[in-house]
Chains A and B, each alone.
Chain A
Amino acid sequence: MAERLIEVTDLKVQFATEDGMVKAVDGVSFELERGKVLGIVGESGSGKSVTAMTLLGLTRDQNTRFEGEVLYKGRDVLTMDEGELQEVRGNEMSMIFQDPMTSLNPVYTIGAQICEAIQVHERADKNTARRRAIDLLKQVGIPNADSRVDNYPHEFSGGMRQRAMIAMALACNPDVLIADEPTTALDVTIQAQIIELIDRLKDEFNSAVILITHDLGVVADVADEIVVMYAGRVVERAHTRQLFYDPQHPYTWGLLGSIPRLDRPKQERLHSIKGTPPSLINAPAGCKFRPRCPHAFAKCTEEPPLENRVEEPGHLDRCWLSVEEKRRLREPTLAGAEEAA
């Protein structure tokens, strides 16, 4: 069995605001092993980015409350002091952010920013660090890396900047790479390349990856396991194949139905999930998806537990419907028939 790198148990993250406590993450658990890719999927505001940033201690603030455990190789990130966290950040776990246009400092060269990441964790002189930076840029597919290393971020295109971000994140050969919507701000043509690159480098660097996205299509090819989040909770969790072939939660159906597909009849309009995610301050009682769920019934006012309801072990979901009902009810949504009719 592969080495277990991350173990998140019942993580809760709350932000104190003037309007009340925002329960951004509400009891999330997952594990990650070396060499695996975990996809975290959900709409904006589902708590997936907060979960990811909490892994690196980036959500720490005087107004933030944490509960639960975030173990990295058995050490709890939530209780680490600032110095230990700095050792972990960039060195053992590193992160790629959504918008490569704003995630690089405009006043330093690409090379200087990569060297900075190397030199903060390792004793490397300027020339060694620079050579490493050039090698990294070559590995992420930047042409003419020898001269490009001295360019400023504004001289790079969006896709190249994201490649540079990946190079920077991999600079210290981290165990875990967290990619927070790495393709959202990029052209569709570049998206696949970046995902492929992350997947390939994961093997080269022998790391594990957490890939956060709102687009199930993005993680379909690369993720080993997928966690679907809604309103700060995990609503479904399964191996990727299993999730696509036998999705259990109506929210997951909605996400799957909203991906344009070539193997289905052409729809007039793409399916969309009606309504908006609930307030995280006064979340509805019972199932959080109930107000938007077309299949809600009386029992949904009680919160369903996250448990295994199908034959496949490790496939968990949070929905009261029986497995048979689910398999019957999901078909129109997955085919997009409701909208097309």
Chain B
Amino acid sequence: MIAFLARRLIGAVLVLIAVSFITYLIFIKIPGGDPAQRIAGRTATDANIADIRAKLHLDDPFYAQYWGMMQSLFNGSLKSYASQLNVVNEIKKGIPATLSLCIGAGIIWLSFGILVGVISAVTAGRASDRLITVFALIGISMPVFWLGLIARYFFAQGHPFALLPDGEYVPLTTNPWQWFVHLLMPWWVLAVLFIGFYGRVLRSNILDTINEDYVRTAKAKGLSRNTVLAKHVLRNSMIPIVTLFGLDFAAVVGGSAILTETVFNLHGVGQYAAESTQNLDLPPIMGVTIYATFFIVFFSVLVDVLYAWLDPRIRPT
């Protein structure tokens, strides 16, 4: 187990280096990317630009620049070219909003995805299953930005069914109730797609597992229908769902929630990433990339560990 973790850890570090380096290379190769010109503005003289280039070490060889940037990122002194704000602080500021959004949405989509999947598998072929299938497909097909706007149009304050506040993030520590009601709409908007998708995947997993010989053995033991379903069918059908959840959750925390954060103006990390990319602002892009990669890598290691816990056949001996 320890050897396995050590191996995965080394792999994780290598992935972080590779991802950050490729991001860096892409950025310095795209046209219009020269930060000195952008900072100096439209009326800048050549001397101004040369001055800025010298200050930002832009004339150094690219590997030295990369090294310098990574150093300042990890000692927390990296500043944005555009706003001169500290990158690490800005990411830290966005994390509570992003995590609140993602954890809440994750709980909703996992629990409702399982519920939907189990109901439609148990009633497979009947009306409830067909109805769920239709709703699941609609849910999967609706883009988040569209659904978010529609939800705001109907349910936000000042609209037909004024039930919920219209966007913005209230920190949990400031007012837990306001934190909750402000996030309710974003949570569901982000979760809908995943509920549909997980429901479909779980349904087909359950229908596969139900025909396994060991399920027949469990019935022949005299277990009740519900015990068979929970202990023998669901337990085995959940293994692929755990993988999906780990990776999807990591992707959402690492920036896939950009659209939801933007639609509801939550000022999370995703929104910060989107703004920095629009401004071709290299330091925050590097910061957010490392942050996102970290979550993806961390959760894929976590999924592997969970997998071994759920399925004894793949446990490292």
Q: Return chain B residues, CB-CB under 8 Å to A116.
A: 218, 221, 223, 231
Contact A103 B221 (CB under 8 A): no
Interface string of B185-218 (1 = CB under 8 A from A): 0000000000000000000000000001110111
Interface 9-mer from B82-90, B105-113, B251-259, B308-316:
B308-316
Q: How far, in angstroms, from A97 to B220 measured CA to CA in the complex?
A: 10
Q: Return chain B residues, CB-CB under 8 Å to A121.
A: 222
Residue of B with least CB distance to A155: B312
Which residue of A104, A107, A117 contacts B311 across the interface (Cβ within 8 Å)? A107
CB distance from A92 to the nearest CB of B (A): 9
Interface 9-mer from A10-18, A81-89, A260-268, A310-318:
A81-89
Q: How many residues of A contact B (CB 8 A)?
A: 27
Q: How far, in angstroms, from A272 to B181 measured CA to CA in the complex?
A: 75
Contact A106 B221 (CB under 8 A): no
Residue of B with least CB distance to A87: B222
Is the C-beta of B224 less than 8 angstroms from some C-beta in chain A? yes
Contact A107 B212 (CB under 8 A): no
CB distance from B59 to the nearest CB of A (A): 60
Q: How far, in angstroms, from A58 to B219 measured CA to CA in the complex?
A: 8
Assuming the contacts A102-B213, A102-B214, A105-B214, asked whether A95 and B311 have C-beta atoms less than 8 A apart, the reply is no
Q: Which of A37-65 contact B (CB under 8 A)?
A: 56, 58
Is the C-beta of A152 less than 8 angstroms from some C-beta in chain B? yes
Contact B221 A89 (CB under 8 A): yes
Size class of the B contact interface (CB-based, 8 Å) = 20 to 34
Is the C-beta of A258 less than 8 angstroms from some C-beta in chain B? no
CB distance from A148 to the nearest CB of B (A): 14
Contact B220 A94 (CB under 8 A): yes
Q: Return chain A residues, CB-CB under 8 Å to B223.
A: 86, 90, 116, 120
Assuming the contacts A87-B222, A116-B223, asked whether A104 and B312 have C-beta atoms less than 8 A apart, the reply is no
Is the C-beta of A292 less than 8 angstroms from some C-beta in chain B? no
Contact A120 B222 (CB under 8 A): yes
Is the C-beta of B232 less than 8 angstroms from some C-beta in chain A? yes
Is the C-beta of A70 less than 8 angstroms from some C-beta in chain B? no
Residue of A with least CB distance to B125: A62
Is the C-beta of B7 less than 8 angstroms from some C-beta in chain A? no
Is the C-beta of B243 less than 8 angstroms from some C-beta in chain A? no
Is the C-beta of B235 less than 8 angstroms from some C-beta in chain A? yes
- Can you list 13 A-B pairs with a CB-CB distance of less than 8 A? A82-B225, A86-B222, A90-B220, A90-B222, A94-B220, A97-B217, A99-B213, A102-B213, A102-B214, A106-B313, A107-B236, A107-B310, A107-B311
Nearest 6 A/B pairs, CB to CB: A90-B222, A89-B222, A90-B221, A102-B213, A105-B214, A152-B312
